[in-house]
């Protein structure tokens, strides 16, 4: 799995008809900054409102997942989101001039082709994974549906479906590595059973449905009169079917294509959690309603974990900036460069690491025999961390120098000693104005706050 966030290098556009609305739409994927996530923008509506792809914004699950925010709806988002997750793209703005993304061929493959044509671009921030901490389970006994998420340092999914159908029978599909999504899952098309088709049509759905973008499973003998009615419903001169099989005798791309498509839908629906996941996902008879209910349980667990402000630090992960990259940005050098690596950086926040050792030069004269990391140097290390953040607000940070100009409400909570690893976290309290940034910072050791303060910094252009 990618360790750093990714966007796309350039905008790319696809067009087509929406599956359920039947409305022609153009959808443009656009690059987006670190931490942006997936957002849709309804370009056809007044003020062009944004709809964030978030499970809390789901408003309808009629044969697809519909989200709504700021008075705008976007229907059937799951295939689009699945393509983004499958390519491990984290940040994209999706501009849409209609109510629903194009259905294309009923899968995610054509979205993936377009995104790969645009090219992927690595960004200067680590991916904010949510790692499943313990078993999370959703059960709907009435529908014999069960989904579970288990801890795993990877993202794997297994889906089992049983349609009690002589055509499809019991099927399962697995994705053992997200990098296999493109080749193994993305081309699996949406489907429904013949007995569902008329009901969907009467519900004013599948207006854009066509035998070129959906599979219709026929699991009973169909009379010629019924076939004529189906042809009229689908706008076709004629449709045909074997005794039992697929309407118009369309060949399946895989024997278990329906199960693979259910896995595709699950990947797209779970994207609404809002963060890339690490875990083993097991699903029996999933559908959009169950997927979204499951995603809500995962997000609830995630938000409870986020109540702690301590940044997660995994020393095995590649940092956003190592010491050599830090020295390219900050003017400080030994013995006054006091941060070792940057582990998170976006437009409004930053986190860094300081490893405290007995070899620090100040320990020879600061409390000999009882070494304690000086509070003023903790403040300086936090200020250097904040300096990285404010320099990130200009396009050419190498031409600026950050200066620490103020401190308020500084408190030291616990002693810091050799062997401790300090995690510094700073975030902007307001947008940077006239080169002045107002920040709040905290320092943590072993998950506990050791120091906190509010700081002001100025960024000044270097003289030529």
- The rounded distance, in Å, linking the Cα atoms of 410 and 414 is 13
Least Cα distance to 127 among 274, 5, 310, 305 occurs for: 5
Strand blocks (E) in 18-154:
24-31, 38-42, 50-52, 58-60, 66-69, 72-74, 92-96, 120-126, 130-131, 136-140, 145-150
Largest alpha-carbon pair distance within the chain?
96
Least Cα distance to 401 among 332, 315, 318 occurs for: 332
Burial class (CB in 10 A: 0-12, 13-18, 19+), 381: buried
Q: How far is CA 419 from the centre of its chain?
A: 35
- Active site (annotated) includes residue 20: no
- The rounded distance, in Å, linking the Cα atoms of 235 and 21 is 16
Residues 393 and 432 sit within 8 Å (Cβ to Cβ)? yes
- The rounded distance, in Å, linking the Cα atoms of 212 and 106 is 8
Q: Please, where are the H alpha helices in 123-185?
A: 181-184
Residues 48 and 41 sit within 8 Å (Cβ to Cβ)? yes
Least Cα distance to 332 among 320, 344, 345, 323 occurs for: 323
- The rounded distance, in Å, linking the Cα atoms of 459 and 464 is 15
Tell me which of 6, 20, 36, 288 is the catalytic residue. 288
Least Cα distance to 457 among 417, 425, 418, 427 occurs for: 427
Q: Please, where are the H alpha helices in 120-256?
A: 181-184, 194-202, 224-234
- The rounded distance, in Å, linking the Cα atoms of 344 and 392 is 12
Burial class (CB in 10 A: 0-12, 13-18, 19+), 419: exposed
- The rounded distance, in Å, linking the Cα atoms of 142 and 206 is 26
DSSP letter at 250? P
- The rounded distance, in Å, linking the Cα atoms of 224 and 196 is 18
What is the residue whose two structure tokens read 């990098």?
179
- Taking the alpha carbons at both ends of the chain, their separation in whole angstroms is 43
Residues taking part in catalysis: 288, 366
């Amino acid at each position: 799995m990618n360790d750093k966030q990714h966007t796309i290098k350039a905008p790319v556009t696809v067009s087509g008809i929406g599956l359920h609305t039947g409305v022609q739409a153009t959808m443009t994927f656009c690059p987006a900054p670190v931490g942006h996530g997936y957002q849709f923008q309804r370009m056809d509506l007044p003020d062009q409102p944004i709809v964030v792809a978030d499970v809390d914004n789901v408003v309808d699950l009629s044969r697809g997942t519909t989200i709504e925010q700021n008075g705008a709806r976007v229907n059937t988002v799951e295939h689009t989101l699945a393509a983004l997750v499958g390519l491990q793209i984290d940040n994209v703005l999706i501009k849409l001039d209609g109510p629903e993304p194009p259905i294309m061929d009923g899968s995610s493959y054509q979205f993936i082709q377009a995104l790969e044509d645009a090219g992927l671009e690595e960004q200067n921030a680590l991916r904010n994974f949510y790692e499943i901490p313990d078993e999370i389970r959703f059960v709907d006994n009435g529908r014999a549906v069960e989904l579970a998420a288990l801890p795993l340092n990877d993202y794997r999914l297994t889906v089992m479906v049983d349609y009690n159908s002589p055509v499809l029978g019991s099927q399962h599909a697995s994705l053992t590595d997200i990098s296999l999504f493109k080749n193994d899952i993305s081309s699996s098309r949406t489907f429904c059973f013949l007995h569902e088709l008329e009901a969907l049509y009467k519900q004013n759905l599948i207006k854009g449905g066509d035998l070129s973008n959906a599979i219709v499973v026929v699991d009973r003998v169909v009379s010629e009169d019924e076939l004529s009615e189906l042809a009229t419903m689908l706008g076709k001169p004629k449709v045909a079917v074997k005794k039992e099989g697929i309407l118009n005798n369309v060949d399946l791309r895989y024997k278990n294509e329906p199960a693979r498509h259910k896995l595709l839908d699950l990947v797209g629906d779970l994207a609404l959690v809002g963060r890339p996941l690490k875990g083993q996902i097991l699903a029996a008879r999933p559908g959009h309603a169950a997927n979204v209910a499951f995603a809500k349980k995962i997000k609830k667990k995630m938000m409870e974990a986020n109540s702690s402000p301590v940044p997660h630090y995994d020393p095995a992960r590649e940092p956003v900036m190592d010491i050599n990259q830090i020295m390219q940005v900050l003017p400080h050098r030994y013995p006054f460069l006091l941060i070792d690596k940057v582990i998170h950086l976006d437009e409004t926040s930053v986190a860094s690491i300081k490893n405290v050792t007995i070899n620090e030069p100040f320990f020879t004269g600061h409390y000999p025999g009882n070494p304690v990391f000086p509070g003023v140097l903790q403040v300086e290390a936090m200020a250097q961390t904040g300096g990285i953040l404010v320099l990130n607000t200009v396009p050419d940070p190498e031409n600026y120098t950050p200066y620490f100009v103020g401190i308020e409400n500084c408190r030291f909570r616990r002693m810091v000693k050799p062997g401790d690893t300090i995690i510094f976290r700073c975030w902007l309290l307001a947008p940077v104005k006239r080169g002045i940034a107002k920040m709040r910072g905290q320092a943590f050791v072993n998950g506990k706050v050791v120091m906190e303060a509010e700081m002001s910094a100025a960024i000044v252009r270097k003289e030529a």
